[in-house]
């Protein structure tokens, strides 16, 4: 009987400890606009795994994909309001919250992926992350969308003149909208969640996105022509509610930051993979791909826009990015 009571007490103690452990676990909600099988999806899954491992299971990230908890702008607002804990987002709507970030959206600012990543991971990018704190947001790391390319259903795009009058979905980004108007495009800002249907119904003629997004969103089902314009490098961000961030211990903050860095590695690796294979895949899906354009002609058409942006952001700030080694 005494042994039975001992075993019963031990079992009850274990159950109590398990219940205490379960109740001590904090579940944080994270939303992203792209599908799970995308450069964002693999990133947020990596982030969740690293956080749970690094905190010994005290924190668990519950991920939602394909904008299940709202579009990108709504997600950022959710961080500020405390109705969402984390998000991975493009920079599309970010200038509405942190205007300084818009400088990275200037067309033809970056030479290639290596330079873009070096800028974001270096002093320039890290200084920019600090601009989020006064807005109620903690910016954990820069991720990536990739270089954006144009698709449409009207005609192949080879010169700036081919863009005249095209209705193109754009991100809710004032820099992009200004530049596309200068190229003769009729920009139509809308959330990414609306894009597939808008293309399918002919509300817009085309859109522009990195190859990885065109693939993961299956835009080849509703678009005929793809031109590798590479006109804008599109960063992404892993963001957290500042209120939630402030609740973390110093040690846990380091775990979250390390998890974000691991997520970015996976995100960029997926971009690199998609870039190598995308053109062949999209051709196999029936898209007509124009691989080579005269980028100098597109840049010349944007000369007035570049001058305006130089006044807005300071030409020295733009040159600091453009010339970064």
Summarize pLDDT for 124-156 with one digit per residue, the tens.
Answer: 999 999 999 999 999 999 999 999 999 999 999
In-domain check, residue 12: no
pLDDT of 20 over the 50 cut: no
In-domain check, residue 46: yes
pLDDT of 24 over the 90 cut: no
pLDDT value for 325: 87
More confident residue, 263 or 3: 263
Q: Which domain holds residue 218?
A: 24-322
pTM exceeding the 0.85 threshold for the entire prediction: yes
Calculate the alpha carbon distances from 37 to 33, 44, 187, 212, 270 in Å: 12, 11, 28, 10, 10
In-domain check, residue 116: yes
Pairing of strands 137-152, 225-241: antiparallel
In-domain check, residue 6: no
Count other C-beta atoms under 10 Å from residue 154's C-beta: 14
CATH number at residue 102: 3.40.190.170
pLDDT value for 2: 52
In-domain check, residue 295: yes
pLDDT of 7 over the 50 cut: no
Q: For the chain, what is the domain count?
A: 1
Mean pLDDT of all residues in 206-222: 95
89 bridge partner residues = 237
237: part of which helix (H) or strand (E)? strand 225-241
pLDDT of 318 over the 90 cut: yes
Mean of pLDDT over the chain: 93
Whole-angstrom Cα Rg for the chain = 22
In-domain check, residue 2: no
Evaluate whether 105 touches 232 at the Cβ level (below 8 Å): yes
Mean pLDDT of all residues in 241-265: 98
28 bridge partner residues = 61
pLDDT value for 254: 98
Helix extents (H) in the chain = 2-24, 39-54, 72-81, 113-121, 123-129, 174-182, 195-201, 211-216, 242-247, 250-284, 295-301, 303-313, 315-322
Mean pLDDT of all residues in 297-323: 97
pLDDT of 22 over the 50 cut: no
| DSSP one-letter code for 160 | G
pLDDT of 19 over the 50 cut: no
pLDDT of 5 over the 80 cut: no
In-domain check, residue 19: no
In-domain check, residue 244: yes
Q: At what angle do helices 250-284 and 113-121 cross, to 10 degrees?
A: 170
pLDDT value for 228: 97
């Amino acid at each position: 009987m005494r042994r039975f009571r001992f075993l019963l007490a031990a079992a009850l103690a274990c159950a109590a400890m398990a219940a205490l452990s379960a109740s001590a676990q904090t579940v944080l909600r994270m939303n992203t606009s792209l599908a799970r099988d995308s450069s964002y999806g693999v990133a947020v899954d990596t982030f969740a795994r690293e956080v749970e491992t690094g905190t010994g299971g005290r924190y668990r990230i519950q991920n939602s994909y394909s904008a299940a908890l709202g579009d990108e702008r709504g997600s950022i607002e959710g961080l500020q309001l405390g109705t969402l804990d984390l998000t991975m987002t493009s920079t599309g709507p970010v200038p509405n919250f942190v205007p300084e970030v818009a400088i990275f959206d200037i067309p033809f600012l970056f030479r290639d992926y290596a330079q873009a990543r070096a800028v974001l991971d270096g002093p320039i990018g890290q200084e920019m992350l600090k601009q989020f704190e006064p807005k109620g947001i903690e910016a954990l790391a820069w991720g990536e969308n990739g270089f954006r390319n144009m698709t449409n259903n009207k005609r192949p795009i080879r010169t700036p003149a081919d863009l005249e009058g095209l209705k193109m979905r754009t991100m809710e980004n004032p820099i992009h909208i200004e530049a596309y108007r200068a190229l003769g495009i009729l920009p139509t800002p809308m959330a990414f969640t609306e894009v597939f249907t808008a293309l399918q119904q002919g509300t817009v003629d085309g859109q522009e996105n990195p190859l990885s997004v065109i693939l993961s969103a299956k835009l080849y089902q509703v678009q005929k022509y793809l031109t590798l314009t590479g006109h804008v490098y599109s960063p992404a961000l892993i963001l957290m509610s500042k209120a939630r961030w402030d609740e973390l211990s110093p040690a846990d903050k380091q775990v979250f930051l390390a998890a974000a860095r691991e997520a970015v590695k996976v995100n960029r690796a997926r971009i690199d993979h998609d870039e190598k294979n995308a053109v062949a895949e999209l051709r196999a899906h029936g898209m007509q791909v124009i691989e080579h354009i005269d980028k100098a002609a597109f840049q010349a058409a944007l000369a007035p826009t570049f001058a305006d942006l130089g006044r807005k952001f300071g030409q020295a700030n733009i040159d600091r990015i453009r010339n970064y080694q």
